């Protein structure tokens, strides 16, 4: 009985330590799940900066979410009903409030803190736009 009590007393700190280790980094977040933000200079008007915000949900392969493009004169919200992430490559289909649909492609960094070489096609984009999105959450 005494050895059982000693073993129990030795195990209590280990159990408590494990229970307390649930804080800190959010390990439940998968890949690119979260908020992303970046900006670029408009190719149509070099005096305008366009802000890009994405809210993504990633299950390891499929990606969905919402986003917006904001210029000094308007905000263009969009939905992301379908997207894929295969390793570092990300490809998202974008639906704006008004047709047509667009596409966002980029390369995800190994530490999931940056999406580089982002190209956006769709309304208002005569040429592909390259920018970097940073984790904003």
pLDDT in 10s for each residue of the chain, 137 residues: 555 444 344 443 333 333 343 344 444 568 999 999 999 888 778 888 889 999 999 999 999 999 998 989 889 899 999 999 999 999 999 988 766 688 999 999 999 999 999 988 876 565 556 789 999 98
Q: How far lies 83's CA from each of 71, 100, 101, 104, 115, in Å?
A: 25, 17, 13, 9, 14
Q: Kindly report the average pLDDT of the chain as a whole number.
A: 79
Q: What are the tens digits of pLDDT across the range 119-137? A: 888 765 655 567 899 999 8
Q: Is the pTM of this model over 0.85?
A: no
């Amino acid at each position: 009985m005494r050895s059982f009590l000693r073993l129990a007393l030795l195990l209590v700190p280990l159990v408590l330590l494990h229970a307390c280790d649930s804080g800190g980094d959010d390990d439940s977040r998968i890949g690119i799940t979260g908020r992303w933000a970046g900006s670029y200079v408009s190719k149509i008007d070099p005096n305008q900066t366009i802000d890009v915000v994405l809210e993504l949900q990633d299950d390891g392969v499929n990606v969905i979410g919402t986003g917006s493009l904001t210029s000094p004169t308007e905000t263009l919200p969009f939905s992301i009903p379908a997207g894929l992430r295969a390793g570092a490559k990300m490809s998202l289909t974008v639906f704006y409030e008004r047709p047509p649909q667009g596409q966002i492609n980029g390369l995800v960094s190994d530490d999931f803190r940056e999406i580089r070489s982002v190209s956006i096609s769709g309304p208002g984009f005569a040429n592909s736009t390259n920018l970097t999105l940073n984790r904003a959450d």
